[in-house]
Amino acid sequence: MKPINSIEDAKPLSKLSLTDRFLPVWIISAMALGLLLGKVFPKLNDALTAVQIEGTSLPIALGLFLMMYPVLAKVRYEEMGQLRADKKLLASSLILNWIIGPALMFGLAWVFLADEPEFRTGLIVIGLARCIAMVLIWNDLACGSREAAALLVAINSIFQVGAYALLGTFYLRILPDWLGWDAFDVAFSTGEITKAVLIFLGIPLVAGYLTRKFGVKRKGLAWYEEKFIPRIGPYALYGLLFTIVLMFSLQGQAIVDSPSVVVQIAVPLLIYFFVMWGISYAFGKQLGLKYDKATTLAFTAAGNNFELAIAVSIGVWGLASGQALVGVIGPLIEVPALVGLVYVSLWLRKRY
């Protein structure tokens, strides 16, 4: 993707690939197909659970791996050491991603979904999953720093393996208990979350790292990023759509019967995206960051890793859980919201 050379020429939607531009359409189509399959094959669930990996059906596990691997093979791990030269950016990103972001989503989840424990938990799980995929596209469209985005994505990828389960336990059990809020209707264990993260993030992370390391070593960086990555990139979407089809074959009827569910989930997500982006952008500007890095800081903090959230929700609570449903609805809301924020960024660039 070529950089945008001027504000006047910036047309974010036209810069997106056909696949990315119509992502909400593909997601809705996958939902519809899943609903149809559920009607036609009512015993599909038995077939899906015939072979399992740690409680997750083999077809679903393969779909989740496909979602994560191409994204993690794209991360520039070799550049992580360069963050030492920009400690201000690194510190800001860590604070926004791992303190402010999860806390904001926790608050929104309890405000809007206090009486819906599964949806509330699903929203919190999303808040803990920091963006490592689409953020690179939004950042590029908004003329952010590609180098900074790649480095922050690498840091978030590594950090999530160690921090996700601990933060999940804190926000799902410890903090509600401190505040005197009833969260005991959400069944989980720290071990379950840790296992899900290690399987569905750890394995593709190692695979992605080794693929990049040996691919670049044998074929060179130009071949790897210009030939190999574009070839495997679409499989992340294929994995997401495959998982959505199977999920909706089991629980899509619940949305058809109660369409208000989508609105319930969409409202706090929209608030999160815009508030988190605004806080992060203002934070970067206050620190004296230039436009490109302030924009990168904002998008890497505002986006979320829905692939990981879906994987953890399925691994811990099951394919037909409300938590997994929230993860599926998430990208449907995120894509138009962040495209809108790209336009906001480009408008602000004129006045920066």
Of residues 82 and 168, more confidently modeled: 168
Whether residue 3 lies inside any domain: the answer is: no
Q: Which tens digit of pLDDT belongs to each residue from 22-50?
A: 777 888 888 889 888 877 877 776 777 66
Looking only at Cα atoms, what is the longest distance across the chain?
59
pLDDT at residue 331 in the model:
83
The range of the structural domain enclosing residue 253 comes to 16-349
| Main-chain phi, psi angles of 6, to 5 degrees | -150, 155
Whether residue 11 lies inside any domain: the answer is: no
Token digits of residue 309: 């959230």
Whether residue 331 lies inside any domain: the answer is: yes
Whether residue 308 lies inside any domain: the answer is: yes
pTM: 0.81
Whether residue 263 lies inside any domain: the answer is: yes
Contact assessment for residue 248 and residue 315, using Cβ atoms and an 8 Å cutoff: no
pLDDT at 279 over 90: yes
Whether residue 6 lies inside any domain: the answer is: no
Q: Which tens digit of pLDDT belongs to each residue from 311-348?
A: 888 888 887 788 988 988 888 888 889 889 998 998 88
pLDDT at residue 124 in the model:
95
Whether residue 173 lies inside any domain: the answer is: yes
Residue 78: which CATH number? 1.20.1530.20
Q: What domain count does the chain have? A: 1
Whether residue 326 lies inside any domain: the answer is: yes
| Mean pLDDT of the residues in the chain | 83
Q: Which tens digit of pLDDT belongs to each residue from 170-205?
A: 999 889 989 988 765 566 667 778 877 888 788 888
CA dihedral 171, 265, 155, 212 (to 10 degrees): 130
The model's confidence at residue 136, banded by pLDDT at 50, 70 and 90, is confident
